[in-house]
Amino acid sequence: MSTDPPVYNWDKIVLKPVRSKDNQDVGNVISIENDTFTVHSGRYEFIISKNDVDGFNGGEVSLNKNYAELSKNKKKP
């Protein structure tokens, strides 16, 4: 079992697209906070915990939560 973090440099994910566990486009990362990051999608923003990140392949952030689970943290900017 690997103990490597899913993201080594959180600043590298800014402006990158985010995809949910069920393969839905969530939006693009717009800011990084201490334990969370913000994703902008159309008229909404999502506040996502860094613990919800499954991986980052250099071009896209993948999450370990389904889109419906993320919608609980959706807000209007």
Question: What confidence tens digit (pLDDT) does each residue in 6-51 have?
Answer: 898 999 999 999 999 999 999 999 999 999 999 999 999 999 999 9
Say what the pTM is. 0.91
Dump pLDDT digits (tens) for 45-62.
999 999 999 999 999 999
CATH at 54: 2.30.30.240
Answer whether residue 56 is part of any domain: yes
Chain centroid, CA 20 distance in Å: 8
Helix (H, G, I), strand (E, B) or coil at 51: helix
What is the domain extent for residue 54?
A: 10-75
Answer whether residue 35 is part of any domain: yes
> How many structural domains compose the chain?
1
- Indicate the Cα dihedral angle 22, 23, 26, 29, nearest 10°: 120
